[in-house]
Amino acid sequence: MKYLRFVYEFLKYPKQVGTFTQSSKALAKKMAEQINGSPYIVEFGAGTGSVTKEILKRLPENGRLTCFEINPEFCRCLEKIRDSRLKVINDDARNCEHYVNNLDCIVSGLPLALFNKSKKQSILSITSKSKRYIQLQYTPFLGKKMKRYFSDVKLKFVSRNLPPAFIYVCSASP
């Protein structure tokens, strides 16, 4: 059902959703593994929650995961995840600072490569305030841009996803 919801929303808003299917388990796990024990996580573009669920598995009991998702149908899926550490916010990730103070660790599924220059810039200037920023993408060509904001940028490749994907793991210092 969630699969069909994803395809349907992609057909309606291709540039906003960015891909026709939610992240595979392998990709979601690899994304979540990068959080490195951070207790406060902010997720941008959580979709139907495949990465969200993997983050929750690794979050300490007193941790907090705040998800920003612009699509109300996807928010409905996220709200079905019963976990008191999770907060779902149906708003643009660019407004996150109205809701959260702690941006130490940001996990993002936003389709950055499809955003126009100013939208991309706004997201990157927010994420550059974090100590750790984990970004899912389907292109390996964003490294140069990321390096303008982060001193350390590592690229990981996950083949077990449709389409195969890249994860940028960015830190303020090595």
Q: How far is the CB of 85 from ligand SAM (least distance, A)?
A: 18
Give the nearest distance from C-beta 69 to ligand SAM in angstroms.
Answer: 5
| Nearest to 86, CA basis, from 73, 69, 98 | 69
- What is the C-alpha to C-alpha distance for residues 2 and 110, in angstroms, rounded to an integer? 18
Residue 47 contacts ligand SAM per CB under 6 A: yes
Q: Does 127 bind ligand SAM (CB under 6 A)?
A: no
DSSP strand E in the chain: where?
40-44, 64-68, 86-89, 105-108, 132-137, 152-158, 165-171
Question: What minimum distance in Å lies between the beta carbon of 57 and ligand SAM?
Answer: 15
* CA pair distance 130, 109, nearest whole angstrom: 16
Q: How far apart are alpha carbons 152 and 172 in whole angstroms?
A: 6
- Of 19-27, 78-86, 98-106, 140-148, the window that binds ligand SAM (rule: CB under 6 A) is 19-27
How far apart are alpha carbons 23 and 120 in whole angstroms?
21
| Shortest Å, Cβ 38 to ligand SAM | 17
Q: Which residues contact 173 (CB under 8 A, 6 or more apart)?
A: 151, 152
Q: Which stretch binds ligand SAM (CB under 6 A): 42-50, 79-87, 126-134, 145-153?
A: 42-50
Sheet holding 86-89, edge to edge: 86-89, 64-68, 40-44, 105-108, 132-137, 165-171, 152-158
Closer residue to ligand SAM (CB): 9 or 146: 9
Sole binder of ligand SAM in the list 71, 127, 130, 135 (CB under 6 A): 71
| Interaction between residue 51 and ligand SAM (CB under 6 A) | yes
Identify which range of 14-22, 53-61, 98-106, 152-160 contacts ligand SAM by CB under 6 A.
14-22
List residues binding ligand SAM (CB under 6 A): 16-19, 22-23, 44-47, 50-51, 68-71, 74, 92-94, 109-111, 136
